[in-house]
A and B are shown apart, each in its own frame.
Chain A
Amino acid sequence: MALPIYYSPFEKGWHYTYRVICAAILVFLVAPIFVIVPLSFNALPYFTFSPEMLSLDPAGYSTQWYREFFTEESWQHAVRNSFVIAIFATLISTLLGTLAALGLSRSQMPFKAAFMALLISPMIVPLIISAAGMYFFYTRIGIASTHLGVILAHAALGTPFVVITVTATLTNFDHSLTRAAASLGASPTETFFKVTVPLILPGVVSGALFAFITSFDEVVVVLFVGSVEQRTIPWKMFSGIREEIRPTILAVATLLVCVSILLLTVLELLRRRNERLHGPASS
């Protein structure tokens, strides 16, 4: 962006200072995430750069922590658990959340605001409180320390994201399309699957991604509701940091950063598709 020619020297100075400040803040946001990438290739079991690493000596680098992650059974167990729990939780919360969003965005929905506030609350209530309550209650009904318990808990935490994203898609939804389909002889089911679903799909997919990452990243509820059998990647990382810090955690963290870059790309593509179809979003 070119500077307006009428700017005074002071304004020009401030303009560049301001840019430097913003750059510094953006570095603060991103740098900590990328610091761990080189650290995860450390040949020594420390969380900092060794002199060999700084002099770019190949002997200072090693992939042993990645090997450890991919070969050690307890980590592989955690990976399997994380995916199983996150996938099932996402399925449940996407299905129930989408249905609820469809109901909530109908104009005849009674007590809309109250329902919305209730359905969003799992996102607002501090995790430790949800986790404590779930631990007490799930123990009572006998599903604590089971995969089912953790999946149900994560599904509950993921639903608000699906409700929010699908409701947002539905606010731009042109209801005359479904009426048109009906008047052309489509049954309600046909209308739903051939007209409504393709249109709200971006919202459903991004809601599902949110729900997936919520479960995949969640640790407080797993710590309380689950046991060793349900340990997930974050569970392993949390107990690893507390007990013995090993760079394996940094290797896992680097892999997780790759996962989040992947997710971010998918979401960005969805956003662009949406923009192409509906014009720039209002916010």
Chain B
Amino acid sequence: MTPGSVEVIRTADGMPLGLSLQRTLLRSRLRALLLVIPLLAFLTVTFVLPILDMLYRSVDNRIVASVLPHTTVAIQAWDSKSTELPDEPVFEALVMDIQAAYEQKTLGRVGRRLNYEKPGMSSLFRKTGRQAKRITEAPFKEQLLGVDKRWHDTSVWQLIHRESGALTGSYFLASSDLRLDDQGEIALQPEPRRIYVSLFYRTLWMSLLITVLCLILGYPVSYLLASLPARTSNLLMILVLLPFWTSLLVRTTSWIALLQTQGVLNDLLVFVGLISDDARLQMMYNKIGTIVAMTHILLPFMILPLYSVMKTIPTSYMQAARSLGASPLTAFVRVYMPNTVPGIGAGCILVFILAIGYYITPALVGGRTGTFVSNFIAVHISETLNWGLAAALGVILLALVLVLYLIYDKIVGVSNMKLG
């Protein structure tokens, strides 16, 4: 051993201890990672990639450039601010593209895409497609202008110019009730198409109302469950857990049976004599239906976190407050309630997150006025086929939920989440 140097401690096989420890740690870290990787890979394919696909679709604009490949290139030479129509080469390219797209039956797609931005585009492309095959030689410009007078309109060309890129922000503009006008400036949608801002607003306030109702109904029950002896509270807990475990559709069906105009509640009110048979209350297919049914469905999600927090508050706190002279009310408000704030926070955020993304219940009992953003996403996917707009609405909703999720993570910690 040379003086001044510290002897390196070695393991039995002669490796320095520090290095050996490092290797062991690395190996166990890898082993832990190896256990998580299968699920991670699985979720990437089945869940994360689909979400990314949706994010991409909300800005994807390849349809115009892929159906009109020559036009979108040729039109770049045209000054979109000018009041003049584009030159002959652009017209020639468009005629070529339309003829090819008409053959391959893809013309309808670009027509529908541009129709979202400017009503009438779909019919313009359909009409031009039918007649373009007769245009075989120059001058293309004159002949195309003869097919439909709308080709004289520079705003049509500006639209094609604007949407010739691979990405577009127009779906996000549309989901905020905005659009690009003919000059390419951001403007409000015309009045009848301004629906999404109020839709988001409605989704938020109805979710908030449902959350507050859940808190008002859930707090006393949780307090009762937490203060009763274990045997009784376990029995009562079953009454909370049964709806929690019952199919969502079963619960929605029950509310339909209860709330219909010919349903149980109306029958009961008529029978008691509170309302007459011809003045039955409309409690379904409107906001009331959605709010009542969703409050019922989400109530267990409020009670469970509240209960688990209340269980941990020692009864001696209240007793101490009382013995120090506080009235029952003061003791409850000043001592007990502040201790339940984490439970209130967790329950409210959980219920709110679940509420703003709800689809089934509003779709079945919400009618026309009690529907949420989710319902419009579904309509755009399966009925109007405006997938870009559906994706943009979805991305905004997702962003809202993720912000709330982060707050929830801060308050509760995702790893502390308990079920049942």
The answer to whether B242 touches A164 (Cβ under 8 A) is no
Chain A stretch 114-155: residues in CB contact (< 8 A) with chain B: 115-122, 124-130, 132-138, 140, 152-153, 155
Mark interface residues in A9-40 (1 if CB within 8 Å of B CB, else 0): 00100000011011001101110110110010
B341 within 8 A of A: no
Mark interface residues in B361-373 (1 if CB within 8 Å of A CB, else 0): 0011000000000
The answer to whether B377 touches A132 (Cβ under 8 A) is yes
- Among listed B44-52, B96-104, B173-181, B189-197, interface-contacting one: B44-52
Mark interface residues in B37-73 (1 if CB within 8 Å of A CB, else 0): 0111011011111111110010000000000000000
Residues of A within 8 A of B187 (CB): none
Residues of B within 8 A of A138 (CB): 50
Q: Number of A residues contacting the other chain (C-beta, 8 Å)?
A: 95
Knowing A32-B255, A35-B254, A47-B262 touch, does A109 contact B33 (C-beta < 8 A)?
Answer: yes
**Chain A binding site: helix, strand, loop or mixed by DSSP?**
helix
What is the chain A residue whose CB lies nearest that of B390? A132
Residues of A within 8 A of B38 (CB): 96, 99-100
Partner of A124, one of B34, B217, B250, B353: B353
The answer to whether A140 touches B53 (Cβ under 8 A) is yes
**What CA separation (Å) do A138 and B397 show in the bound complex?**
21
The answer to whether A130 touches B47 (Cβ under 8 A) is yes
The answer to whether A132 touches B364 (Cβ under 8 A) is no
**What CA separation (Å) do A22 and B238 show in the bound complex?**
14
The answer to whether A237 touches B239 (Cβ under 8 A) is no
B184 within 8 A of A: no
**What CA separation (Å) do A261 and B238 show in the bound complex?**
10
- Among listed A69-77, A172-180, A194-202, A245-253, interface-contacting one: A245-253
Residues of B within 8 A of A242 (CB): 363-364
A210 within 8 A of B: yes
Mark interface residues in B404-419 (1 if CB within 8 Å of A CB, else 0): 0100010000110111
Min CB distance A14 to B, Å, is 8
Min CB distance B373 to A, Å, is 8
Min CB distance A63 to B, Å, is 18
Residues of A within 8 A of B5 (CB): none
The answer to whether B257 touches A35 (Cβ under 8 A) is yes
Partner of B33, one of A92, A103, A219, A224: A103
A-B contact count (CB 8 A): 276
The answer to whether B46 touches A152 (Cβ under 8 A) is yes
B289 within 8 A of A: no
What is the chain B residue whose CB lies nearest that of A168? B418
The answer to whether A108 touches B32 (Cβ under 8 A) is yes
Chain A stretch 74-99: residues in CB contact (< 8 A) with chain B: 92, 96-97, 99
The answer to whether A49 touches B250 (Cβ under 8 A) is no
What is the chain A residue whose CB lies nearest that of B373? A128
The answer to whether B35 touches A100 (Cβ under 8 A) is yes
B160 within 8 A of A: no
Partner of A129, one of B32, B54, B387: B54
Residues of A within 8 A of B81 (CB): none
What is the chain B residue whose CB lies nearest that of A161? B419
- Among listed B114-122, B164-172, B220-228, interface-contacting one: B220-228
Residues of A within 8 A of B418 (CB): 164, 168, 283
The answer to whether A217 touches B248 (Cβ under 8 A) is yes
A230 within 8 A of B: no
Chain B stretch 263-320: residues in CB contact (< 8 A) with chain A: 263-264, 267, 296, 299-300, 308, 311-312
B398 within 8 A of A: yes
The answer to whether A155 touches B46 (Cβ under 8 A) is yes
B16 within 8 A of A: no
Min CB distance B323 to A, Å, is 11
Min CB distance B246 to A, Å, is 5
B359 within 8 A of A: yes
**What CA separation (Å) do A234 and B360 show in the bound complex?**
11
Knowing A22-B220, A241-B256 touch, does A283 contact B398 (C-beta < 8 A)?
Answer: no
A257 within 8 A of B: yes
The answer to whether A237 touches B253 (Cβ under 8 A) is yes
Chain B stretch 364-395: residues in CB contact (< 8 A) with chain A: 364, 374, 377-378, 381-382, 387, 390-391, 394
Min CB distance A210 to B, Å, is 6
* Known contacts A35-B254, A117-B409; 14 further A-B pairs (Cβ under 8 A): A32-B296, A103-B35, A103-B36, A113-B415, A117-B405, A117-B414, A126-B398, A128-B378, A129-B394, A133-B51, A260-B245, A267-B245, A267-B420, A283-B311
Instruction: List residues of A whose CB falls within 8 A of some B CB.
Output: 1, 11, 18-19, 21-22, 25-26, 28-30, 32-33, 35-36, 39, 46-49, 92, 96-97, 99-100, 102-104, 106, 108-110, 112-113, 115-122, 124-130, 132-138, 140, 152-153, 155-156, 159, 161, 163-165, 167-168, 206, 210, 213, 216-217, 219-220, 224, 234, 237-238, 241-242, 245, 249-250, 253, 256-257, 260-261, 263-264, 267-268, 280, 283
**4 closest A-B pairs by CB:** A126-B357, A103-B35, A133-B50, A137-B50
13 A-B contact pairs sorted by A residue (CB < 8 Å): A22-B220, A32-B251, A47-B260, A48-B257, A48-B263, A92-B42, A117-B414, A121-B405, A125-B401, A128-B374, A129-B397, A133-B394, A264-B241
